Amino acid sequence: EAQVTQNPRYLITVTGKKLTVTCSQNMNHEYMSWYRQDPGLGLRQIYYSMNVEVTDKGDVPEGYKVSRKEKRNFPLILESPSPNQTSLYFCASSLSTPDRDLGGYTFGSGTRLTVV
C-alpha cells in the first residue's frame, strides 16, 4: 500500500530534551515536506526537500532540523524543544515534476507533540 508513515503518533516530552519524528514513504517520491498545524493558522511549512541531500527552509524553520540521506526517509529533529513547539505535525510527499504532480500530496497520519 502506498503510504507515508510517521512515528510516533503521540509524544509528550520535556523542554530541552532532543527528539526525532520519523517519516518514511514507499512511493519513490522526490519531494518531501514537514508541516505543523495549529488552530486557526492552517498548515505551515517547516522544511522541505526536493530530493536526496537537498533541503530548504519553509515558513517556520526556527527550532527544527531535517535531513534527507535517503529518498524514502525525511526525519524531523527538535534539538531543544520548547512549549511553543507543541503542535500537530504532518509529513507529506509528492512527485516533484510539476506536470506529473496532479495528485497533490500524500500525508502521514500526523504526530501530536506536547512539550511541557
Binding site for another protein (CB under 8 A): 40-45, 48, 58, 88, 90, 96, 98, 102-110, 112
Considering the complex, state which of residue 23 and residue 115 has its C-beta at the smaller distance from another protein.
Answer: 23
| Closest separation in Å from C-beta 76 to another protein | 15
| Closest separation in Å from C-beta 18 to another protein | 25
Considering the complex, state which of residue 19 and residue 90 has its C-beta at the smaller distance from another protein.
Answer: 90
Q: Which long-range contacts (CB under 8 A, 24 or more apart) does 71-75 make?
A: 71/28, 71/29, 71/30, 72/24, 72/25, 72/26, 72/28, 73/22, 73/23, 73/24, 74/23, 74/24, 74/25, 74/32, 74/33, 74/34, 74/49, 75/20, 75/21, 75/22, 75/23
| Closest separation in Å from C-beta 6 to another protein | 9
Considering the complex, state which of residue 11 and residue 43 has its C-beta at the smaller distance from another protein.
Answer: 43
